[in-house]
Every structure is written in C-alpha cells, then in structure tokens.
Amino acid sequence: MTVRVRIAPSPTGYLHVGTARTALYNYLFAKKNNGKFILRIEDTDVERSSKEMTDIIIESLKWLKLEYDEGPFFQSDYFSHYIDHIPQLEKTGGIYRCFCTPEELEERKKKVIEQKKAWKYDRKCLNLSKEEIEKNLNEKKPYVWRVFIPEGKTYFDDLIHGRIERDNSEIEDFIIVRSDKTPVYNFAVVVDDYRMGVTHVIRGDDHISNTFKQLHIYRLFGVEPPKFAHLPLILDEKKAKLSKRSGTVSVLAFRDMGVLPEAFVNFIALIGWSPKDNREILSIDEMIQLFSFENVAKKGGVFDYKKLEWMNSKYITKTDDEKLYELLKPFYKESGIDIENFEKEKILKIIFSVKEKARYLKEFPYLTEFFFKEISDYDKKGVEKFFTPDRLSHLKVLVKELENVEKFTSENVEKLYKDYVEKNGIKGADVIHPTRLALSGRTEGPSLFLMMEIFGKEETLKRLTKVL
C-alpha cells in the first residue's frame, strides 16, 4: 500500500499556524513512508472562498518548502460528481430527503431547548410515505439529504488517541447535500478522500466529531475508511485555542516579520511532537527520519513566542552571510535603505556584526542603521554617563593615535586601545563606551572594533571629532 495523505485548507482565510503544522505532519509522514502528499482546496463554501486566499495558501506552503506531490485539486470542480453518488446511497436506504424549512427547524429546536433538553434533528421526514414525498417534489419544495444513523455505537482506532467511541444516540441524522444541491463538508471530504485513495487522514482533533459522521458515509458506500490521526490543538499562552485574539496566527505574517522558514518549520514541528532524544534544533531531513505518531502528544501544545524568537535567532546566526544578504534586501528597502547601493563586502561585514543579536530579519535595519546615516541623537543616559570630561580627554588623545594607524583593522585598533588602557592605568570601559556612543549614538551594539573597521579610518575620526 502506498501511503497517501492530504492537506485540505479552505480558501476563506490565510493559512493558519495550526493548518501549517497539520500540513507539516502530513508531509513528514508521507516522506518517511515514501508516500504522496496531496494539496486539496476545499472551496465548497463558494460565497466565502476566493482565489486570493487560495494563492496565499499556496504561497505559504511554498515559503515553508512543503512541496506537494499532487494538486492543487479544487472541490468546486467536482460539485456534480458528489451529487452523482446520491442514487447509489439512496438504494442503501441509509439516506432520506428532509423537507423541513429552516424556520420549522428553529421553532421545534426552540421548544426542545425550553424543556432544557439537547436538540438534535427529530426525524420528522424519516418516515414520509412515497405519496408525501412525490407531493412535495411536485410542489417543488426544497429539501436536503440526511444520513440515517442506526442504533449502536461508532468507534475507530486513532493513531494518536487510541480507540475513540461514541454512542450513536449522540449523532444526529446529519445533512450531506444542501437544498441548493451543493455538498456539505463531511460528504465532500469522504468522496474526495476515497476518490484520491487517501490512506491516512491526519488533522486537528477538533475534527473528531466529524470523523464519526464520515464513518457512517463510508459505511453506506461499503468501503474501508482511511486510518485517522487527530492532532492536539495549538494553544495560546493562556491555554486557549490559538486565534487572532492571541496575536499573529497567519503563516505569511511570520515571514514578513523576518522568521526564517527553516526555523518556523522546526518550531511548529515541536508544538505537540518531540523526538525521543529531545533535540530542539532539527533539519527537515532529521524530522522526516524521527517522526512518528507515538511521540505526538494527546494534549495541546503552547505557541511560545519567546521560544520562536530564540529558535529563529539560532537559525539566523548559523545562516551564511551571503544568503542573509539576499534575504535582507527587502527588509532594508522597506526601511528606506537600498543595500545594493553600497559596497557588498561592507554590507556583509555589517550583517556579520549583528547577526548574533537579531531575533528577526526585520530587526537588522534598526540594529545597523547608524552605519548608513549621520548621528544626530545620542542616547541621553549614555551622554550623562560616558561623555564626562575625563573620558572625553582620553578620547581626544586616542583620536590623535588613531590618525597614525596605517592598516585600520579591528585587530590593530583593538591593540591600540588595549595598550592605551594599560599605559594609563584605566578601565577599558572608560574609552570603549564613549567611543561606541560617539560612533553609533547608542550604548549597545556590535563589537566596537569591528564597527570601527567597517566605518573605516576617515569616518571613525570624523564621528569622534564631531563629539569632541
């Protein structure tokens, strides 16, 4: 048996973090088992679906580098195909027409709730006679198709949760085709998964209630259902389901913040799953090798923004400077700096100087902006603390000594500063902090001596002299 899995988002919104993780687990499982990973766009909700959102979903998967083997397939291309199955199901006696109007249903539902009972469809149309059905059809009364749920229990063996069982009395006779002849989600999903030969359905555990309904459709078709694996939900820091209220949940929003795709994939993989050796930094190939449902948690994992920042910073640090140069172009351009207008070697040094401090790519322009513009504002507290008469007197002497440095490298400048500190019996901070503040306007930043090398002799002396 060839493993075939699918990711099936609805194009009614962006690709959510939870859907991205579901896509990842499907991808990992498929690759580990030499299977196929399929993309299906579930656009049966025609009014809310849009091409723009479809494009965003595809762009998001592309950014995550989760390449699908087949698709994208669109449910809207198969509307007539779903309805073609109704005669086959009708012959089983397992489905029936329901002519109840929404108003009638609401009225009956209201009465049941007033009696403090749980409402489910009361099967008013289950035993209509042939004559009654014909009369309604002749009068062109709209109707839906419902599945008849027999007595007993429904169960399945979930690859994560084990056996899950529900009494059929808890499952109402649900609708599979609306009055406008469009298929309902649960029906379309079963037809699609069977047609595509899906062997494993891996999705969020908020779909467990749908699984019970879908099993009844498989039963009527007389086919073996796929195996199911229901993933724990992703939670926010308050242990509630991750939503817009929790903060950023769109995959492309994280891209636009400057999260590296490899870091994001690594991060979401570990929300609810962990390898046996508890490693945290994993390549996609390592994830494929290590992935198993045995190590997927039954309870939801928390989306920890601090951990994402930490992990992204680790990936930034180990990313080649040339690659960072390409990735950072749009972020610098957005901040008003076109790095292609500057000597590339200098930009690479600037990137290297702060790469260990950046949590997101978006931070690079701020962390390095003083390299690209004149300093007009100096940190006020820094000025009070470091621009004191005694420290500035040392700086004045150092300016003269720096003028005599022929090869203006970080090593040579650092040696000059160290020799000066030892010769004058002062602390290194007495000259390092005022120099940094004079060059950048800040009290923190990259290595001072690398900064001076990047600025070069002329610009370094110019900025120091300006402060003096």
CATH 3.40.50.620 for domain 84-231, yes or no, is yes
Residue 70 and residue 59 in contact, taking contact as beta carbons nearer than 8 Å? no
Give dist(CA 210, CA 208) in Å, integer.
5
pLDDT of residue 30: 98
- Fold classified for 380-467: Arc Repressor Mutant, subunit A (1.10.10)
Residue 142, pLDDT above cutoff 90: yes
User: Would you state the torsion angle of the CA atoms of residues 20, 25, 28, 32, taken in this order, to the nearest 10 degrees?
Assistant: -160
DSSP bridge partners of 39: 7
The mean predicted confidence, pLDDT, of the chain is 96
Is 244 marked as a binding-site residue? Answer: yes
Whole-number pLDDT of residue 242: 87
Q: What is the pLDDT of residue 46?
A: 78
* CATH fold match for the domains 84-231 and 380-467: no
245 three-state secondary structure: helix
Cα separation, 64 vs 56, whole angstroms = 12
Q: Where are the alpha helices (DSSP H) in 115-146?
A: 130-138
Q: Is the pTM of this model over 0.95?
A: no
What residue has token string 């109704």?
86
pLDDT at 276: 81
CA atoms within 13 A on the CB side of 4: 17
Q: What is the pLDDT of residues 184-209, one digit of tens each?
A: 999 999 999 999 999 999 999 999 99
Contact status, residue 255 vs residue 331, Cβ threshold 8 Å = no
Q: What is the model's pLDDT at position 269? A: 97
Look at residue 249 in the predicted model and tell me its pLDDT.
Answer: 86
- Work out the average pLDDT over 235-256: 85
Question: Which H or E run contains 301?
Answer: strand 301-302
Task: Please state the rounded mean pLDDT for residues 37-45.
Answer: 92
> Sheet harboring 70-74: ordered strands across?
4-7, 36-41, 70-74
Instruction: Fill in the DSSP letter of residue 36.
Output: E
Q: What is the pLDDT of residues 59-107, one digit of tens each?
A: 999 999 999 999 999 998 998 899 999 999 999 999 999 999 999 999 9
Distances (CA, A) of 79 to 5, 65, 75, 421: 22, 31, 7, 80
> Is the pLDDT confidence value at 244 over 70?
no
Is 217:185 a contact under the CB 8 Å cutoff? no
Among the listed residues 372, 261, 277, the one whose alpha carbon sits nearest the alpha carbon of residue 319: 261
Percentage above 90 pLDDT, the chain = 93
359 pLDDT tier (thresholds 50, 70, 90): very high
C-alpha to C-alpha distance for 271 and 331, rounded to whole angstroms? 28
Compute the average pLDDT of residues 242-251: 78
Helix 410-424 to helix 448-467 angle (10° resolution) is 70
* Sequence ranges of the domains in the chain: 84-231, 319-372, 380-467
pLDDT band (50, 70, 90) for residue 44? confident
The yes-or-no verdict on residue 248 having pLDDT over 80 is no
pLDDT value at residue 431: 98
Contact 302, 236 (CB under 8 A): yes
Strand spans (E) along 119-270 = 144-147, 153-158, 162-167, 175-177, 200-204, 227-231, 234-235
Compute how many other C-beta atoms are within 10 angstroms of the C-beta atom of residue 244: 10
pLDDT tens track for 254-269 = 999 999 999 999 999 9
Q: What are the tens digits of pLDDT across the range 366-400?
A: 999 999 999 989 999 999 999 999 999 999 999 99
339-346: average pLDDT: 97
- The pLDDT of residue 163 is 98
Q: Kindly list the catalytic residues.
A: 244
Q: Which among 153, 144, 152 is positioned nearest to 186, based on CA atoms?
A: 144
DSSP 149: -
